[in-house]
Structure 1
Amino acid sequence: MKKGWGRRFEYPIEVAGTKLVTLLDAGEYISALPKKEHQALEWQAATEALILVAESGGPTMFARIGLLRALNRHYVPELNPKGKEPHWGRRKPKRDQ
């Protein structure tokens, strides 16, 4: 596999009107973050994944996943309190009657 910071993501990542196309773009974006945000565990993990992919030649999808997890770390999916519909009111099979 190819190595290096010039490798492109399969699908560019859009952040605040800019596109992160290569590993180098993503690394520069992370390094430009404020220090407090840069030190968050999610960004540290994303940085580590980025370095591993760039230097070891792993799949760029690993770095992409790390970046997307860090970007979406404050997103909390809406909880569906109903969950699955209950089975109440269904008829029992004839064998169980």
Structure 2
Amino acid sequence: MPDGRKLVTLRDAATYITKLPKAEHAAPEWQAAMEALLLVADLGGPTMFARIGVMRAINRHVARVFNPDRKDTHWGRRKLARDR
């Protein structure tokens, strides 16, 4: 969490979402997170869906940056018959 707390249970996540300001609460990311929480709580869906929804909503203002230095090259190039 941005303030240092941790969401341990689904109830913690639900109370956190309901206590958000109205403008932030209406954001599409938080709406999707609430939908995922309801799916897990009511229908017994995979808890990973709820976790992913909440994490995406919390980090929605963080820009994802591609770092080309981290890209690993392939182990080796395939050798063609014409290059022999």
Q: For the superposition of Structure 1 and Structure 2, which TM-score range results when normalised by the shorter chain?
A: 0.7 to 0.9
Q: 1 or 2 for the larger relative contact order (CA 8 Å, sep ≥6)? A: 1
Runs of 4+ that moved beyond 6 A: none
Unaligned runs of 5+ in 2: 72-79
TM-score by length of 2: 0.75
Q: CA deviation at 1:94?
A: 8.1
Letter in 1 for 2:57: A
TM-score by length of 1: 0.66
Report the number of matched residues.
76
Equivalent residue number for residue 74 of structure 2: none
RMSD: 2.3
The structure with the largest helix share of the pair is 2
Percent identity between the two aligned chains: 63
Equivalent residue number for residue 23 of structure 2: 36
Structure possessing the higher radius of gyration over alpha carbons: 1
Equivalences for 1:1-97 in 2 at 5 Å? 14-80=1-67, 95-96=82-83
The structure with the largest strand share of the pair is 1
